[in-house]
């Protein structure tokens, strides 16, 4: 095995902390709203850190390693163009704020209230199927990582029977994730994900500090310079020959940030777990900071890996990695394993185990959240709308758990059977587009446009899903088809938007009562914080800060604006200068050196800041869950109760 007893001790300690968090939250889960939305009792830091972990799966880490191993530093420059859009989306509360006002437990519950019950069922089914297919490769990627990183044998014998380590690894990992969900629903998930998030971000910063002290920037420069001239990993203006993960990949992603806000339901429970719409909005703003450790780690580690694999001074290490990869048949699997295997060669004892623990936490953090989400969506949005009366509480919890088991069984067999041909993030884009391609138009139109119609919602959803499914089929038939998954997603978004607007305008004109949907005015609910829903025109309110903002809230907003505006300025000035002056790769390398240093320092500060805030929120959530009055009819059922 590649891990020493010290490494395994780190893994065991980290897992024990996660398990303790689950057991701690178990006693606070009492009804369906607790299981689905943690009693709507979580604060901003708790949600931000936990949700960040739910979105950072083992598959996400491997997928981003693939991206930056191909693109190097360059795509981080183009990502700066996305920063302002992300800030506007988060500080304005775009979609998130209004959805929380609806008090819906799932997105499709909102669809029923805004459109129709039949559309809720259809949308819930599309979201469920899209999520299952997208989720289907998660166990495979995680199991393969642990097999090769830990150097487990591909098969082993027990009682004279030969077992596949791959299959058994998936079963064990899925059973752990299932226990986390079953122990206390979203209450347990949010606690476990928070603990995992704190641990993971701390390890990211420690490994980054180790790497910048061990490896010389001249070596990094020389290693990256071995890339072809027009596929530079240093100069973002020399990337015309970079395949898949180029400027257009991120431009479509930029559109998707705005269009698909809250569309993807893999972590839908977090959209409903905040104690108020304001806390949900602040959690989204904080996500801009939360991702610092993750983003710099997932970019810098593949850069180091590329240097190791391509610099003559590290040839022995590269040979060790290639020797392992030579025994792997699949080119896609080789691509997934390259960076983790390089880490295995360069990290010291202790940090090897810490990274294994991070991958275990990331696997569990995404799987418990996704199992919870897709299992809940099937019951809440596909089964319940057909019922004439609601489930009894215990019955409801039982069928939710059975549905979650069904999701686990499906993804296990999908991972056993499906042969992946595209890179992970291209697979994500095309499978996710089955739902998000059309749902973005449906969500935005439903929350912000009084004239959006049910017919338009049906038409947009059908358009997006048809384009995405066609793309999946084409790629299974024609491997290497010239339109990749990201482009199919972009086509689906544009087509669905045009269809939604056109059908709404051509159909029967009807004005929908948004005040009732959003619980505003005469429909306002007591004890829900009153928020000004439009952006005022004077003073601090021009920046989206209303009367409900404390001094601390305003400080976070101003700090967020300042940070983003500085980097947006760097992007604008850098772009203009590069288009008008020759800029050498060595100058770009100096820029990237300071970029990495700045983000490592900022990441260390974020880890401390968010850990303190998160533990305070955790304490407050326990207090609220211990004293709050619960309504067992708060279960997502919208029909008449007998």
Task: Specify the range with the lowest mean pLDDT, choosing from 489-493, 537-541, 595-599.
Answer: 537-541
3-state secondary structure of 509: coil
Give the pair of three-digit tokens for residue 387: 């019922």
Beta strands in 207-365, from DSSP E residues, in sequence order = none
Could you tell me the two tokens for 335?
A: 């691509």
594 CB-near residues (< 8 Å, 6+ apart)? none
The most confident of the ranges 428-442, 532-546, 547-561 is 428-442
Total residues found in the chain within this entry: 642
Express as a percent the part of the chain with pLDDT over 70: 91
End-to-end CA distance of the chain: 61
Alpha carbon 147 to chain centroid, angstroms: 24
**Residue 570: helix, strand or coil by DSSP?**
helix
> What was the pLDDT predicted at 389?
79
Q: Which helix (H) or strand (E) holds 424?
A: helix 424-448
Under a CB-based contact definition with an 8 Å cutoff, are residues 170 and 412 in contact?
yes
For residue 218, the Cα-to-chain-centroid distance in whole angstroms is 34
Looking at residue 565, what is its pLDDT?
85
Question: CA 441, CA 113: separation in Å to the nearest integer?
Answer: 16
How many Å apart are CA 95 and CA 101, to the nearest integer? 10
At 30 the pLDDT is 66
Mean pLDDT of 329-341: 89
Q: Which residue has the tokens 């972590």?
A: 267
* Cα(416)–Cα(78) distance, integer angstroms: 37
Q: How many whole angstroms separate alpha carbon 302 and alpha carbon 72?
A: 7
- C-alpha span between 358 and 262 (Å, rounded): 26
Query: With contact defined as beta carbons under 8 Å apart, do 73 and 303 qualify?
Result: yes
> Measured in whole angstroms, how far is the alpha carbon of residue 327 from the centre of its chain?
32
HEC per residue, 247-258:
HHHHHHHHHHHH
- Cα 113 to Cα 154, 440, 455, 639, distances in angstroms: 51, 17, 15, 11
Q: Is residue 449 within 8 Å of 269, Cβ to Cβ? A: no
Tell me what percent of the residues of the chain surpass a pLDDT of 90.
Answer: 36
Cα–Cα distance for residue pair 40/43, rounded to 1 Å: 9
pLDDT tens digits for range 106-154: 777 888 889 998 898 888 888 888 888 888 889 999 999 999 999 999 8
| Residue 320 near residue 354, CB atoms below 8 Å | no
Domain definitions of the chain by residue range: 5-627
Predicted pLDDT of residue 537:
43
Q: Is the pLDDT of residue 632 over 80?
A: no
HSE-CB for 43 with a 13 A CA cutoff: 17
The two structure tokens encoding residue 594: 């300071």
Task: Give the residue with greater pLDDT, 568 vs 390.
Answer: 568
260 Cβ contact partners less than 8 Å away, ≥ 6 residues apart: 436, 439, 440, 493
Q: DSSP label at 639?
A: S
* Residue 272 vs residue 298, higher pLDDT: 298
pLDDT tens digits, 192-214? 888 889 999 999 999 999 999 99
Please tell me the distance from the alpha carbon of residue 532 to that of residue 179, in angstroms, as a whole number.
Answer: 41
In contact, 185 and 372? CB cutoff 8 Å: yes
CA distance 496 to 493: 5
Which is more confidently placed, 604 or 527? 604
Q: Closest Cα partner for 424 from 70, 2, 17?
A: 70
Query: What is the model's pLDDT at position 87?
Result: 67
- H-only helix segments in 260-314: 277-290, 292-310
50 closest CA partner among 254, 270, 266: 270
Name the more confident of 174 and 400: 174
The tens digit of pLDDT for each residue in 214-267 reads: 999 999 999 999 888 788 899 988 877 777 677 778 788 888 888 888 777 666
CA 163, 169, 173, 176 torsion-angle sign? positive
Q: What is the pLDDT of residue 1?
A: 61
Note the pLDDT of residue 638: 56
pLDDT of residue 562: 86
> What's the confidence (pLDDT) of residue 534?
40
**Within a 10 A sphere around the Cβ of 601, how many other Cβ atoms?**
13
d(CA 29, CA 97): 26
Average pLDDT over residues 339-355: 94
Q: List pLDDT tens digits, range 396-455.
A: 888 888 999 999 999 999 998 887 766 788 888 888 889 989 999 999 999 999 889 999
Integer angstrom CA distances of residue 171 from 154, 412, 526: 15, 7, 47
- Of the listed ranges 86-95, 574-583, 615-624, the one predicted with least confidence: 86-95
- pLDDT-based confidence at 512, cuts 50/70/90? confident
Sequence-distant (≥ 6) Cβ neighbours of residue 188 within 8 angstroms: 21, 22, 25, 26, 29, 180, 181
CA distance 405 to 116: 29
Q: Is residue 543 very low, low, confident or very high in pLDDT (cuts 50, 70, 90)? A: low
Eight-state DSSP code of residue 378: I
Question: Closest by alpha carbon to 126, among 348, 493, 439?
Answer: 439
Distance in angstroms (rounded) separating the CA atoms of residues 596 and 268 = 33
Pick from 371, 375, 492, 398: nearest CA to 439: 492
Is CATH 3.20.20.150 correct for 5-627? Answer: no
- Whether the per-residue pLDDT at 627 is higher than 80: the answer is no
The string of DSSP letters for 8-30 reads HHHHHHHHHHHHHHHHHHHTT--
Residue 636: its pLDDT value, please? Answer: 59
| CA distances for 417 relative to 139, 161, 479, angstroms | 12, 22, 17
Q: What is the pLDDT of residue 528?
A: 55
Q: How confident is the model at residue 533 (pLDDT cuts 50, 70, 90)?
A: very low
- Tell how strand 161-164 and strand 155-158 pair up: antiparallel
Residues 6+ away with beta carbon under 8 Å from 432: 130, 134, 264, 489
Core vs surface per residue 168-184: b (16+ CB within 10 A) or e? ebbeebbebbbebbbbb
Whether residue 541 has pLDDT greater than 60: no
Please, what is the Cα angle at 526 between 25 and 622, to 5 degrees? 15
């Amino acid at each position: 095995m590649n891990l020493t007893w010290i490494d395994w001790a780190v893994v065991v300690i980290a897992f024990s902390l996660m398990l303790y968090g689950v057991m701690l939250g178990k006693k606070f889960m009492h009804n369906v709203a607790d299981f689905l939305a943690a009693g709507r009792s979580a604060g901003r830091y708790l949600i931000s850190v936990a949700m960040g972990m739910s979105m950072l799966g083992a598959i996400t880490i491997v997928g981003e390693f693939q991206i930056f191993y191909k693109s190097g530093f360059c795509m981080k420059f183009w990502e700066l163009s996305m920063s302002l859009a992300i800030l506007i989306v988060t500080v304005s509360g775009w979609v998130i704020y209004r959805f929380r006002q609806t008090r819906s437990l799932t997105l499709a519950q909102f669809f029923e209230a805004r459109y129709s019950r039949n559309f809720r069922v259809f949308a819930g089914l599309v979201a469920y199927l899209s999520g299952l297919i997208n989720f289907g490769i998660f166990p495979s990627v995680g199991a393969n990582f642990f097999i090769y990183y830990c150097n487990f044998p591909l098969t082993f014998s027990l009682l004279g029977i030969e077992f596949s380590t791959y299959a058994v690894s998936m079963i064990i990992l899925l059973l752990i994730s299932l226990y986390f969900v079953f122990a206390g629903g979203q209450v347990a998930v949010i606690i476990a994900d928070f603990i995992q998030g704190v641990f993971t971000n701390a390890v990211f910063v420690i490994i980054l500090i180790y790497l910048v002290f061990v490896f010389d920037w001249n070596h990094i420069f020389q290693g990256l310079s071995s890339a072809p001239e027009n596929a530079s990993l240093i100069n973002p203006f020399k990337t015309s020959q970079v395949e898949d993960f180029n400027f257009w990949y991120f431009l479509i992603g930029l559109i998707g940030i705005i269009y698909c806000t809250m569309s993807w339901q893999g972590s839908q429970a977090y959209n409903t777990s905040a104690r108020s719409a304001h806390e949900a909005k602040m959690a989204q703003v904080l996500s801009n900071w939360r991702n610092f450790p993750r983003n710099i780690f997932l970019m810098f580690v593949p850069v180091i890996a590329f240097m190791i694999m391509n610099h003559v001074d590290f040839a022995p290490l590269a040979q060790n990695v290639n020797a392992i990869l030579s025994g792997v048949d699949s080119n896609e699997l080789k691509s997934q394993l390259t960076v983790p295997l390089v880490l295995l060669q360069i990290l010291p004892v202790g940090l090897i185990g810490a990274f294994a623990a991070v991958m275990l936490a990331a696997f569990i953090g995404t799987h418990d959240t996704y199992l919870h989400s897709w299992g809940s969506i099937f019951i809440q949005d596909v089964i319940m709308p057909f019922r004439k009366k609601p489930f009894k509480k215990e019955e409801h919890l039982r069928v939710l758990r059975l549905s979650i088991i069904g999701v686990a069984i499906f993804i296990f067999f999908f991972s056993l059977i499906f042969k992946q041909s595209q890179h992970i993030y291209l697979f994500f884009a095309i499978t996710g587009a089955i739902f998000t391609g059309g749902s973005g138009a449906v969500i935005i139109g439903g929350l912000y446009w009084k004239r959006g119609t049910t017919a338009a919602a049906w038409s947009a959803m059908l358009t997006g899903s048809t384009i995405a499914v066609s793309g999946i089929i084409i790629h299974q038939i024609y491997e290497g088809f010239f339109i990749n998954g990201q482009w199919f997603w972009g086509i689906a978004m544009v087509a669905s938007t045009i269809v939604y607007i056109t059908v709404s305008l051509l159909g029967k004109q009807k004005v929908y009562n948004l005040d009732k949907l959003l619980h505003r005015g005469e429909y306002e609910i007591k004890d829900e914080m009153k928020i000004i829903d439009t952006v005022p025109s004077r003073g601090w309110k021009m920046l989206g800060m209303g009367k409900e903002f404390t001094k601390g809230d305003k400080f976070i907003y101003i700090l967020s604006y300042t940070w983003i505006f500085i980097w947006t300025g760097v992007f604008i000035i850098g772009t203009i200068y590069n288009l008008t002056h020759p800029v050498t790769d060595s100058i770009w390398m100096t820029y990237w050196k300071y970029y990495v240093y700045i983000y490592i320092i900022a990441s260390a500060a974020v880890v401390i800041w968010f850990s303190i805030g998160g533990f305070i929120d955790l304490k407050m959530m326990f207090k609220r869950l211990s004293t709050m009055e619960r309504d067992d009819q708060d279960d997502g059922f919208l029909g008449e109760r007998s």
